[in-house]
Chain A
Amino acid sequence: MNEYGMFERALIDVLAHETQGAPVDRIAANVFETTRTIKPRPTLLATLRESPMRIGSRPAVGLSRRQLALAAVVAALLLAAAVALVGSLLRPSEGPDWLGPRGGPTRMSSSLTGPVGLPVLRWRVDVGAAVRSDPVVLGESVFVVSEDGLLHALNLADGTQRWRFDPGTSLVGPSSDGMTLFVVDGQGVVHALDVDGGRQRWASAALGQGASGTLAAEGKVFVSGSEGSIAALDLGTGALRWRATLGAEPVHIPAYADGRLLAATDDGLLVAVNAADGATIWKVEIGNEGTGTPVVANGLVYLGARSDNPIGRLRAFDAGTGDPRWTIDEPLFGPAVLGSLAVSASAKGAVVARDAITGVERWRFGSAGTTRGPVIAGSIVYVANDLDQQVFALDAAAGGLLWTFPVDAGNQCCVVVAKNHVMVGTLSGSIYALTGDGSTLVPTAPSVPPSVLVPEPTATASSSLPEAFSVVRRIALEDVGVRDPLAVAVGPSGDIYVSDQSHHVTHLDAEGNFLGRWGGLGEAPGQFDFLPAQSSANPHGSLAVAPDGKVYVSDSDNHRVQVFSSDGEFLREFGSSGSAPGEFTIPFDLSVDANGNVVVADDGLERITKFSPEGDVLWVVDGTTDPALRGHAHTLDLDASGRIVAIVDDTGMVVVLDSDGRVVDAYPAPGCDVTMDAAGRQYVTGCEGGLTVYGADHMPVATSAIRGLGTPRFGRDGRVVALTSDGSIVFLAIVA
């Protein structure tokens, strides 16, 4: 018997000796206590969960690839229903984590669950500089690197900062293994940080400039570098384990699966590397197409075009051998993959879904500009549009548009779906955290080829919606001596008040007959200055009428609100120039509730103040009290319960506050004015005209094609009036 035989026999003896004394009864009791209370999953679900395993040549566990493709179609349908049900029951912070670029080591950019329903802005924060890489969402925290070289740890609940890491140089990352964060600085030093407090666990030796990112797997942290190399560091200590040179050009962030790294270089190499020792397993030369980050799924490696590359192809290779499987002659980025669905974006604005196994196209959605980083979460595909500065949600089954959400700048990387949030990072340094309102979504746009698709600015711009109003009567305001009208309001008895650029308020009866006029340019009580000193600002002069008939006038450039009797007798004024509570720079839209409380938006201070009937400040809210209010809040309106609806034109969000100033709802509806009818439906006037009516579920229910229609005002007697751009006032009836 040779020495090896002896050694192995000794080893077997040691193994047997080491494992004596299993506590069978205790383990069995604990197991059965649980298993008696649950039933096995249905075959389809159980099979989909388990990755395939063969014994001999036969599949023993899970599905074959072909079966997997078929099952995924069925599962997608089940999933859509299950996600809607389960997702609505989940708390916002439940759901899977997101561990770095494209979600984690496989770069599949997918998860089984995401938010349900229309987007609701939970918070938005400004991290100070452009965000160009995916955040990590882990537990109750969001970690994001900004272009100024800072790593920010934010609370998932409200976006507030937990801690910050500043290496004093540029920073790439982050990624995580679920317990530790990894970032690379400008010198190629990898920093391993504790997720809870940001304590540095270790810092590696400098690996050189230009690292593209990190990846944690197999107890190592892999660093892809600018000089064609990949380095493997010990995950516990940061010590260098191996370093391999793949080519002469920079290496994109690699993917990892089954013990191997898949890495692409800028000079067109795709290389499979043994993660244990850095040895090359196979190598494919693609040519100078500008490749991106590989994606591994379904036993395939997908390699798309580099971000922003107008040429290039999407290719699939056998992950085990590197043999080519299929090539799509279109510059698509590496796809998001869930089951048998692979969805790619492109520099030409296309979003293309393909069968992940065969590459056959399933659907296509077109838009202008560059689309970024699709994520598949459950039955929804999320895409950022760089040109339109919007996030699209598409129906994963057929590509129909579900909703859009405007953001404040372009996007070069980052749509992340984790913990039932959609997180978006923008080039202006904003991080948006969106949740869902739980509603059932219906695709509002068909899947059509990009050549015939006109980019839709919002999901709301649908011509199939009914007309909201019919015009009952139209009066030319010139006939009653009003030129260049600014604003209109309706009194409790149907009387109408109109302000104009001559700094007057005109009083009309319910039929539009002239009753009186007061004002004129000046600072004295009863005089107005509606034209703000800043030449770029729009003239204001907003009006509101209280239930008792008192008329409130926003006297913008005199920094005050004046109160008049119904026939124009000056009663009082409140507010003065300044930024303290109760002071104004440019008082703008205002509204009065049933108790005589007045709510005023300030265009200069970008805040909303509520005053008591006596003029005392009840509360002040702005973007610092709730990120949803960051920006200019336009037209305020109140419903019977004192809820306030406002629109923030900077973000295109309609925001609803309760009577105490708390944001209780927000939804995307780009526009510059919003008012509410007695039924609570919200009328959003576009900044360039056009009007859309939203129902209680935030879905558009009607629109208006009335030329030049301004913001409709609703009287307490059911009367609806609006100004039009031709200097008329129209009396409207609600028809839809």
Chain B
Amino acid sequence: MTGRFVTDTELVLRARSGDHDAFAVLARQAIPRLYGAAKLILRQPDRAEDAVQDALVLAWRDIRSLREPAAWEAWLYRLTIRACHRSAQAHRHHDVAELAPDDVPSIEQDFPRTLEERDRLARQLRRLPIDQRTVVVLHFYLDLPLTDASEILGVPAGTVKSRLHRALASMRTAMGAGGGAVAQERPS
């Protein structure tokens, strides 16, 4: 049996033409990262699963809107993030608003070095507002430059940058790792 190497570009073009098998290959290889991003944003595995499923179904249905095959992955991220935000919107009243940092002892050196400190960092990540958490996920988990994150979110690059800055400052402050607090609210 012989085979040949099929590029993602070719798979996208095939999928655009209605080839479901090509779409299935692309979808399968994307699921781990989409699920990871959705789980980080939504914080609940079952809802993350639903969001990824919604995004992939939409991707198949609207795949012909994708003009540039190379943008397949970025577009999937956009669809997934939208699905996450829809889910978050729909479940907002079930969510517990946890925006204030914990009252925790500060850590003076070599942060974070213990398992416990990493757990605390994960907890602070989960407590970020969803917009900030989304930017953190795009930049640090999906490894996207801020310009791409801006396109995916459909917001100006400056907004992405400021959300990221606030997210990091907020987590650092909460962890007591220095860096000074950045006010999230203007005084009234």
Contact = CB atoms under 8 A, between A and B. Distances in A.
A35 B20 contact: yes
A241 B178 contact: no
A16 B90 CA distance: 27
B158 to A, nearest CB: 8
Contacts of B152: 53
Interface string B85-99: 000011011000100
A584 B53 CA distance: 66
A394 B72 CA distance: 41
Interface string B168-180: 1001100101110
Interface in B46-92: 49, 52-53, 56-57, 60-68, 70-71, 74-75, 78, 89-90, 92
B141 A15 contact: yes
Chain B interface category by residue count: 35 or more
B23 A219 contact: no
B18 to A, nearest CB: 6
Interface string A37-51: 011111100110111
A24 B186 contact: no
B7 to A, nearest CB: 17
A579 B110 CA distance: 90
Contacts of A81: none
Contacts of A241: 184-185
A51 B188 CA distance: 35
B13 interface: no
B118 A243 contact: no
Of B35, B65, B92, B186, the most chain A CB neighbours within 10 A belong to B65
Most chain B CB within a 10 A radius of its CB, from A6, A7, A27, A50: A27
Interface string B113-138: 00000100110010001110000110
A259 interface: yes
Contacts, number: 206
Interface residues on A, range: 35 or more
A258 B32 CA distance: 29
A258 B75 contact: no
A22 B40 contact: no
B181 interface: no
Closest 3 CB pairs of A and B: A19-B36, A60-B71, A60-B68
Interface of B: 15-16, 18, 20, 23-24, 27-28, 31-32, 35-37, 39-40, 49, 52-53, 56-57, 60-68, 70-71, 74-75, 78, 89-90, 92-93, 97, 110-112, 118, 121-122, 125, 129-131, 136-137, 140-141, 148, 151-152, 154-156, 159, 162-163, 168, 171-172, 175, 177-179, 184-186, 188
27 contacts: A7-B171, A7-B172, A12-B140, A19-B35, A19-B36, A22-B35, A22-B36, A23-B35, A24-B35, A26-B49, A27-B56, A32-B24, A35-B23, A40-B18, A43-B64, A46-B61, A46-B65, A50-B65, A51-B154, A53-B75, A55-B70, A55-B71, A60-B66, A60-B151, A62-B65, A219-B131, A277-B185
Given A40-B16, A46-B61, 15 more contacts: A4-B179, A10-B111, A11-B136, A13-B118, A14-B125, A19-B40, A53-B154, A55-B151, A61-B67, A61-B68, A219-B129, A258-B155, A258-B156, A259-B159, A276-B163
Interface of A: 3-4, 6-8, 10-19, 22-24, 26-28, 30-32, 34-36, 38-43, 46-47, 49-51, 53-55, 58-62, 177-179, 218-219, 231, 234-237, 240-244, 258-259, 274, 276-279, 320
